[in-house]
Structure 1
Amino acid sequence: MTQTTTRHGGALLTECLVAQGVKRVFCIPGESFLAALDGLRDSQVEIVLARQEGGAAMMAEATGKLTGRPGVAFVTRGPGATNASAGVHIAFQDSTPMILFVGQVASDQRDREAFQEVDYRAMFGPLAKWVAEIDRADRIPEYVSHAFHVAQSGRPGPVVLALPEDMLSGPAEGKAVPAATLPSGMAADQDIQEVIVRLAKAERPFVIAGGGGWSARACEALGRFAQALDLPVGASFRCQDYLDNRHPNYVGDVGIGINPALAKRIREADVILALGARLGEMTSSGYTLLTPPVPAQSLIHIHADPSEIGRVYRPDLALVAQPGPAAIQLAAAAAEGPRRPWRAEARADYEAWQVPQETPGTLKMERVVAHLNEVLPDDAVLTNGAGNYSAWLHRYYRYRGWRTQLAPTSGSMGYGLPAAIAAKLHDPGRDVVCLAGDGCFQMVSQEFATACQERANVVVLISDNGMYGTIRMHQQRNYPGRPSGTALVNPDFAALARAHGGFGATVERDEDFPAAFAQARQAGLPAIIHLRMDPAALSPRMVLERVD
């Protein structure tokens, strides 16, 4: 007979997290979950203190991306939860396993609009796979086990669990449940064979890879499968590290600012395999590469969520399976097929697109990214949030390995720095470089203090053009010569780094960047390089002729 022990709910919750393999949690402390903090104190689980709940949630989301297991964050009720919602939204749109624990008012105060009381089921319902509140301490093991199963099964995503204060602090009897047992996610063998037959018969096949549920082994299998059938592979929006960009079958990213030659090729394809990709707005170029609801191309859609299949596009063949396991099955079943000029031409289009297009200014983002390509090792992790600066990164950087790109498909500004911190804490031996715009960085600039406290020596490259550049770019297109509400007056970012105890440098010319970057990498400290850019360089293809 199993013997149970009596302790408070926070201690039992910690035991459940340890049983699930959690090594690190990100949080902003709050009085609503003091018992959970007390339980964590006596465990081997590391607590990383962020500076704002959005940063903590983004760090947890990035950890989920890196490990394939749920990243965990704790935040307090009310404002803490609303701040953290940004990270939950990222996890949902990026199909990332994540669990957010939120403190809640005591159960005897519910439904009185008590201090900071929120109905989390209503609030997070559209943003999470599952939202629940644990009313009884003896059910903590059940709820935590279910949360880890839900977050990782099918299409991965975020789970939110609310923790009433009195439930956590009161006595708790129970025993932690062992780590989640997950389904294989594999497809039926006959369906795998049918996919291969259809692609082998196609004259102009194309693969779009993306979504959640991948692994390093699956990405390697994707390369072998594509090579066997001579298939061009495009990466869905911000999934460019799913196939080594040097691989002869990689032909570019299917996202914002897509290579026009690549877009034309996708429209002309006769068979498209969407392997894990949702085919959302960004990947489909506003639903124009494939026309809904019945695309001109024959569509094969492999996705872990059956409700996603047929949501926008009717497929000719549909498989409910995790894309990673399916890629491994496809590689194992594919026999060497004939070579196609189609694939080679697509690769040539990609190589031509990689040739830098010169932009204005004495410091050019295309040359910054070219230097990163030259000096960073294959396993370096590059992170970014949202902003027009990322267009140079997506176009010119060559990702060489799985999980070397951390970027939000939700388009969330501020993501890059928290993600970089999470990546550095996860693997301190790897180079981690965050690219951010001046507006993007200032949404989370306080997290640089977290990097310094945790000795996470990330390198942050801040592209400063004195504006919210993406919005200014759209203004130029839609209301030329009429800028409004986009100008920024920025601080000395290098001085900010030094004020926190980090390394700071300012660069205004191309020739000065290599030395500054080398010093930042060698400093052994969190570092900021303040890149003073010409505001006329709005994107790799758009120049602002008149700056007001």
Structure 2
Amino acid sequence: MTPTIAGHLLVECLIAQGVTHAFGVPGESFLAVLDGFHACRDRIQFVVNRQEGGASFMAEAQGKLTGRPGICFVTRGPGATNASIGVHTAFQDSTPMVLFVGDVASEARDREAFQEVDFAAFFGPSTKGMAKRVERIDDARRIPEYIARAFSTAMNGRPGPVVLVLPEDMLTHMVEAQPLPRVEPVQAWSDPGALRKLRELLLSAERPLVLAGGGGWTPQAAAALQRFAEAWHLPVCNTFRFQDCFDNRHPLYAGDVGLGINPALAQRVKASDLLIALGPRLGESTTAGYTLIEAPVPAQRLVHIHADPQELGRVYQPTLAICATMNAAARSLEVLSPPAAAPTASGPEAAGSALPDVPWIAWAQACQADYQANIDPANGGVQLPGSIDMPAIIHVLQQHLPDDAVLTNGAGNFASWLHRFYQYPGLVHGHKTQLAPTNGAMGYGVPAGIAAALLTGRTAFTIAGDGDFLMNGQELATAVQHGGKTIILLLNNGTFGTIRMHQEREYPARVVASDLKNPDFCALAQAYGYGAERVTHTEGFEPALLRALASQTGTLIEVMLDPEVITTRGTLSAIRNRAR
């Protein structure tokens, strides 16, 4: 075996795990690894970011898109702390990811050396931490072992981030070692007895509802969920920012359960007599502050299916807890036999039109009707001020974006337009189409869209607010350098809209620290190498979008939104009036 430098071995280990792209900001603490990327440049690409937060967001998006760990490299101290936002997002979103941190040399450790940080304490794995595992590689011969374990930890159980710390002197050692084989996630199957119990609960239900979401979903799992829902005629909701788990255009779709939930759907959740939570943690956003489902004992019978046994019973005491990965769980559910079907029509035309003999057919139809009413712009409930009709703009997106487009967003009230009115085709069609942070991280959408463009080659569309865009807008330089074309819809209302909404509700007319003095966004985008257009009226958006889709380069479309337009269910004026 020919000795090789440890930094080169590390890159070879990533290639053995199927990694094609790594994101990061170069640092002197891992120069040997960077040299390894140069040596292997025909097999793996190092995407150079402009800030570590953007790099870690791109790696997190990579994990969501591929189902395998997204890869990020940063240097010690400031590099790692900047990258922590992506690690936290990966943790709360249950996304597989590995963050590699170049560290101080071994002989300088524990002396508060230049940029030294105790990474085990900083990222500390716990139920409230940011990483599933934090490890330091001191022995270069064990690099294959640590990387294989990092991939296994990141993918198995509840997916999440792992941090590997790399002393810079270790990376320059000569070592005789070889990469380990590609790690595949372990599938945890549902207990047959639990499945029999679940079938019994279904047979005794009258108003069942499925909540699908969380990490670990695959196109195969989404297809199995759809077959299960169709066999039993079950209404299905997607949980907060996992709106592509179930096809939003399916007649059994009931809407998304998260921030800005349809009030009618919220009542359906409360009125349900059987909730089947397939994958979500049932956290604060999904449960409307733990009010849609009572804690610790729900009013409804609750079946909670999750890949992590520690998540089962953590907040809610379920009627039935099933520990299983999403791919295995959904495929277990699809084989549950429903009651005998009763044809809905007679004659040859009735083939394929039979419904199971269950008492909730009208309930499922009503859930779908509630959803359709909610996405009807005529039911917005308020005449929006200004010259921009946001529901109409989302309708234009629905008309012209391809079914396999990846839509990304960060955090802010602007995202609620997309979440409410856009119908995600879903993983069932073979593609992940939504990238959004359940932990509410601003600045996620721009880098996530760029990662999607680089990794998939599909149309990548980002919706951002003005405050949200400026947190990682510098990554447009990364997009141009590496050829990642994205389309960005920037809603400019000159304010941190979510905070302004809360201020007006809690402290009416006492606005502070939420108004923004913005740059010329079109000029800024053009300086990076993007095309740019400014839209001031609704009718100007469609031609701008068509030009962006046809362009060979990325495009920013700035839409000037009246600051009074603050939510999909009201305006600042309405909020002020309610506060009084």
Fold in common (TM above 0.5): yes
1:484 aligns with 2:506: no
The residue that corresponds to 1:264 in the other structure is: 267
Contact 2:243 2:426 in 1 (8 A): no
Q: Which of 357, 370, 375 is the equivalent residue of 1:338?
A: 357
1:175-204: CA deviation from partner (whole Å, max 9, x where unpaired): 111011432222122322322231232001
Query: How has the CA–CA distance of structure 1 residues 306 and 530 changed in structure 2, closer, same or farther, with 3 Å as cutoff?
Result: same
For residues 556 and 86 of structure 2, the distance between their equivalents in structure 1, rounded to whole angstroms, comes to 23
1:94 aligns with 2:93: yes
The residue that corresponds to 1:414 in the other structure is: 443
1:191 aligns with 2:194: yes
Contact 1:196 1:330 in 2 (8 A): no
Q: Which of 334, 351, 355 is the equivalent residue of 2:372?
A: 351
The residue that corresponds to 1:41 in the other structure is: 38
Q: Which of 362, 372, 395 is the equivalent residue of 1:370?
A: 395
For residues 68 and 192 of structure 1, the distance between their equivalents in structure 2, rounded to whole angstroms, comes to 26
The residue that corresponds to 2:285 in the other structure is: 282
For residues 293 and 448 of structure 2, the distance between their equivalents in structure 1, rounded to whole angstroms, comes to 32
- Superposition CA RMSD, Å: 1.3
Task: Give the secondary-structure state (helix, strand or coil) at the position aligned to 2:3.
Answer: strand
The residue that corresponds to 1:531 in the other structure is: 559
1:147 aligns with 2:150: yes
Q: 5+ unaligned residues in a row in structure 2: which ranges? A: 342-355
For residues 236 and 541 of structure 1, the distance between their equivalents in structure 2, rounded to whole angstroms, comes to 20
For residues 145 and 506 of structure 1, the distance between their equivalents in structure 2, rounded to whole angstroms, comes to 48
Deviates more, 1:336-345 or 1:6-15: 336-345
The residue that corresponds to 2:178 in the other structure is: 175
1:356-400: CA deviation from partner (whole Å, max 9, x where unpaired): 124221012222111101111211111000000001110000001
The residue that corresponds to 1:129 in the other structure is: 132
Residues 108-507 of structure 1 aligned to structure 2 (within 5 Å)? 108-125=107-124, 126-335=129-338, 337-339=356-358, 340-356=361-377, 357=380, 358-402=383-427, 403-428=432-457, 430-507=458-535
Give the CA deviation at 1:546.
9.4
Q: 5+ unaligned residues in a row in structure 1: which ranges? A: none
Give the CA deviation at 1:321.
0.5
1:496-545: CA deviation from partner (whole Å, max 9, x where unpaired): 12111211000000010001111111111111001110111001112122
For residues 255 and 415 of structure 2, the distance between their equivalents in structure 1, rounded to whole angstroms, comes to 15
1:419-463: CA deviation from partner (whole Å, max 9, x where unpaired): 1011111111x2110000000000001001111111111000100
Give the CA deviation at 1:547.
12
1:195-228: CA deviation from partner (whole Å, max 9, x where unpaired): 2231232001111111111101111111111111
Percent of aligned pairs sharing the same letter: 53
Contact 1:137 1:173 in 2 (8 A): no
Task: Give the secondary-structure state (helix, strand or coil) at the position aligned to 2:309.
Answer: coil
Contact 1:103 1:163 in 2 (8 A): yes
For residues 523 and 544 of structure 2, the distance between their equivalents in structure 1, rounded to whole angstroms, comes to 15
Q: How many residues align?
A: 544
The residue that corresponds to 1:20 in the other structure is: 17
Give the CA deviation at 1:5.
2.6
Contact 1:230 1:338 in 2 (8 A): no
For residues 185 and 482 of structure 2, the distance between their equivalents in structure 1, rounded to whole angstroms, comes to 33
1:520 aligns with 2:521: no
Letter in 2 for 1:451: A
1:208-257: CA deviation from partner (whole Å, max 9, x where unpaired): 11111110111111111111111111111001111110111110000001
For residues 11 and 214 of structure 2, the distance between their equivalents in structure 1, rounded to whole angstroms, comes to 31
Contact 2:187 2:327 in 1 (8 A): no
Letter in 1 for 2:63: G
